């Protein structure tokens, strides 16, 4: 009887561990300054790395525990009309491993984007999204570093 109990306990422990590895803890996401470090495009099996523009290297995203998010534009502006920040809300679907970000802008009023979370730790964040290109689907992978 004791062996059966221990065996059952081991099964519970291993199943709990496997769930954790599939569903990242969003606590690692909040209260960090996430800086974009790389952009990778994949289309028709071909992958291309795109350098992060110099004017975006000092920009960061900040996710808060209250589910608010801000995109903070650094001092190096990409355009003359770029403001200091944009605000919105975020949510996370742990079953689908999807991060949904809805930013509030004046024109257009909102911008909702959904990303597949490919990596999440206290220092690294990987997000993927799909776009429709002329020759089919384009997968865009964004890598972020917390600082």
CATH number for the domain that contains residue 28: 2.40.128.280
Cα–Cα distance between 27 and 114 in angstroms, integer?
Answer: 19
Is the residue at 85 inside a domain?
yes
Is the residue at 108 inside a domain?
yes
Is the residue at 3 inside a domain?
no
Is the residue at 63 inside a domain?
yes
pTM, entire model: 0.78
- Is 147 in contact with 33 (CB distance < 8 Å)? yes
102-106: Cβ within 8 A, 24+ apart: 103/69, 103/71
At 80 the pLDDT is 79
3-state secondary structure of 140: strand
**Does 2 score more than 60 pLDDT?**
no
CA distances to 41, 76, 123 from 54, rounded to whole Å, are 19, 8, 21
Using omega within 30 degrees of 0 as the cis cutoff, is the peptide bond preceding 108 cis?
yes
Residues 93-99, mean pLDDT to the nearest whole number: 93
Is the residue at 117 inside a domain?
yes
Residues 93-118, mean pLDDT to the nearest whole number: 86
Count of structural domains, the chain: 1
**Which residues is 101 bridged to in the sheet?**
90, 113
Is the residue at 67 inside a domain?
yes
Q: Which domain holds residue 116?
A: 24-146
């Amino acid at each position: 009887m004791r062996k059966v109990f221990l065996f059952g306990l081991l099964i519970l422990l291993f199943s709990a561990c496997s769930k954790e590895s599939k569903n990242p803890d969003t606590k690692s996401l909040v209260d960090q300054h996430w800086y974009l470090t790389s952009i990778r495009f994949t289309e028709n099996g071909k992958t291309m790395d795109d350098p992060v523009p110099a004017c975006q290297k000092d920009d960061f995203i900040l996710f808060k525990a209250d589910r608010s998010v801000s995109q903070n534009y650094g001092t190096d502006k990409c355009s003359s009309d770029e403001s200091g920040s944009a605000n919105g809300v975020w949510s996370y679907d742990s079953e689908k491993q999807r991060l949904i970000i809805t930013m509030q802008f004046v024109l257009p009023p909102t911008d909702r984007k959904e990303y597949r979370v490919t990596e999440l730790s206290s220092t690294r964040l990987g997000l993927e999204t799909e776009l429709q290109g002329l020759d089919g689907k384009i997968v865009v992978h964004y890598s972020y570093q917390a600082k």
